[in-house]
Amino acid sequence: MSEQLLTQVAIQQLKTYINEKIIGQNTLVERILIALLADGHLLVEGAPGLAKTRAIKVLSEGVEGDFHRIQFTPDLLPADLTGTEMYKPQDGTFQFQKGPLFHNLILADEINRSPAKVQAALLEAMAERQITVGSKTYILPKLFLVMATQNPIEQEGTYPLPEAQLDRFLMHVNIDYPKLGHEKEILHLARQEAQESNVVAKPNEQLMQETLFQARLEILDLYMADNIEEYLLQLVLATRNPAPYGDELAKWVQYGASPRATIGLDRCARAHAWLQGQDYVGPENIQAIAYDVLRHRIILNYEAEADGITPDIFINALITRIAVP
């Protein structure tokens, strides 16, 4: 069996394990894997109880590495994330105590519950994979993924994420309630886990970091034709200047997606195609992931909001009007 096939088998085994533990949230599971394969961070928004926290915990069980959960609260301090210098009275020196951001998989739970200075503590870590404390810079692990969650209800006392930080997230995923059949499976799984509460279920084999890094290289080498790359670029550029595709679209948008969106859409489309077992990237892969990559990077104006236009409606309009190669 070839090395590439072994890598795909390992990733599919991880996906199967997560799907056994997370029921009715197939999109969330796939997006988490895409973020892992594309080396990016994930912002997940959904009502309480939709397995957001459980998803990243289950992922950590199946991947080699350590996991840490940070509950964001109004009294959280930046040093609570990054770490701080601790005084050692024995020899009169200071020693740096690493904070929770030095783990491989980070859950930033209800990130909008903390003020901007705490949210900003994530910026350097997410964008540059390093943390600077005082005059020293500390490098974060090569495997480093932040999954942040937001609760769309109970907005009183929250601090909306600034655009600069939103842009650091590879994808913004919206999740909804499971369907009836899935809800029944969730009920049965909860009963089973309650009966086996003393047994810690783990996958047969964890996904090794070397295997993950090999998968990332394979994804970057995936074939993308020139006309498909041009289609990807046109889609992102249209978010900034949508006038050629309709006067009403031009009236809606205030700011379009940044170049990070171009890079993110390319990596996510490649990861999506690779997960489907394809050896090339097609326009359907770009379209499938475009909403999650672009929705948090597009700022609509008051006129669009007054008309009930959401970023998803705007993106859908672009996808239906831009010629597909």
Predicted structure pTM score: 0.92
List the beta bridge partners of residue 207: 63
Given strand 42-45, what is the order of strands in its sheet? Answer: 67-71, 105-109, 145-150, 42-45, 171-174
Question: What pLDDT, on a 0 to 100 scale, did the predictor assign at position 121?
Answer: 82
pLDDT of residue 161: 85
Higher pLDDT, 195 or 278: 278
Domain ranges of the chain: 3-195, 222-321
- pLDDT over 70 (residue 155): no
Query: How confident is the model at residue 197, as a pLDDT?
Result: 65
pLDDT in tens, 168-223: 999 999 998 888 888 898 888 888 888 776 555 566 678 999 999 999 999 999 99
**CATH number, span 3-195:** 3.40.50.300
- Domain spanning 222-321: which CATH class is it, in words? mainly alpha
pLDDT in tens, 251-273: 999 999 999 999 999 999 999 99
Convert the pLDDT of each residue in 59-118 to its tens digit. 999 999 999 999 998 999 888 999 888 878 888 787 888 889 999 999 999 998 888 888
Closest CA to 43 of 223, 163, 204, 170: 170
Q: How far apart are CA 214 and CA 37, in angstroms?
A: 10
Q: How many Cβ atoms from other residues are within 10 Å of residue 311's Cβ?
A: 21
In this prediction, residue 64 carries a pLDDT of 92
222-321 has the same fold as 3-195: no
